[in-house]
Amino acid sequence: MTGYLWLKAFHIVFVVTWFAGIFYMPRLFVYHASADDQVSKERFKVMERKLYRVIMNPSMILTIVLGIWLFAESWQAYSDQVWIWLKIFLVVLLVGYHHYCLRIIKAFADDELIHSERFFRIFNELPVFILIGAVILVVVKPF
């Protein structure tokens, strides 16, 4: 059981670091979209690239690897319950959001503005619903 709790502890740590990146990246997009001098734009390109490569990607991979490991260890107990499959569905949406951020980063790298500042403000709010949903499903295990 102790091993399982260590897995769960680090799973939660990387969930937090992943969401730190997921919540910060669209903020950078909002500022980048409103920047009109090239010096600022170049600075945001570096910040976006580093946040994605150094924080978001490793955190996503470690969250999912440890999550699958936890699920494998608890397969007997959880595989016939709905909450875990709904949670995995939410994680798939989150991975989609994560990859869409890369598409926006690449467009900005070519000084292409593919969405408005207003779009990025709304885009910034979406992961909140996935976070609330996933945490309620895994902690409360309602069904």
Contact set with ligand HEM (CB under 6 A): 8, 11-12, 15, 63-64, 67-68, 70-71, 74, 78, 88, 91, 94, 131, 134-135, 138-139
Q: How far is the CB of 77 from ligand HEM (least distance, A)?
A: 8
Which position's Cβ is nearest ligand HEM?
Answer: 67
* Phi, then psi, of 36 in degrees rounded to 5: -120, 0
CA distances, 68 to each of 10, 91, 110 (Å): 13, 12, 36
Which is closer to ligand HEM, CB of 5 or CB of 46? 5
Q: How far is the CB of 97 from ligand HEM (least distance, A)?
A: 11
Which is closer to ligand HEM, CB of 35 or CB of 91? 91
Which is closer to ligand HEM, CB of 21 or CB of 67? 67
CA distance linking residue 3 with residue 20, whole number of Å? 26
Cβ-in-10-Å burial (0-12, 13-18, 19+) of 15 comes to buried
What contacts 117, CB < 8 A, 6 or more positions away? 30, 33, 34
What contacts 4, CB < 8 A, 6 or more positions away? 70, 73, 74
Which is closer to ligand HEM, CB of 28 or CB of 94? 94
Which is closer to ligand HEM, CB of 33 or CB of 101? 101
Q: How far is the CB of 42 from ligand HEM (least distance, A)?
A: 32
Residue 18 contacts residue 52 (beta carbons within 8 Å): no
What stretches of 1-143 adopt beta strand conformation (E)? none
Q: How far is the CB of 28 from ligand HEM (least distance, A)?
A: 21
Q: How far is the CB of 107 from ligand HEM (least distance, A)?
A: 26
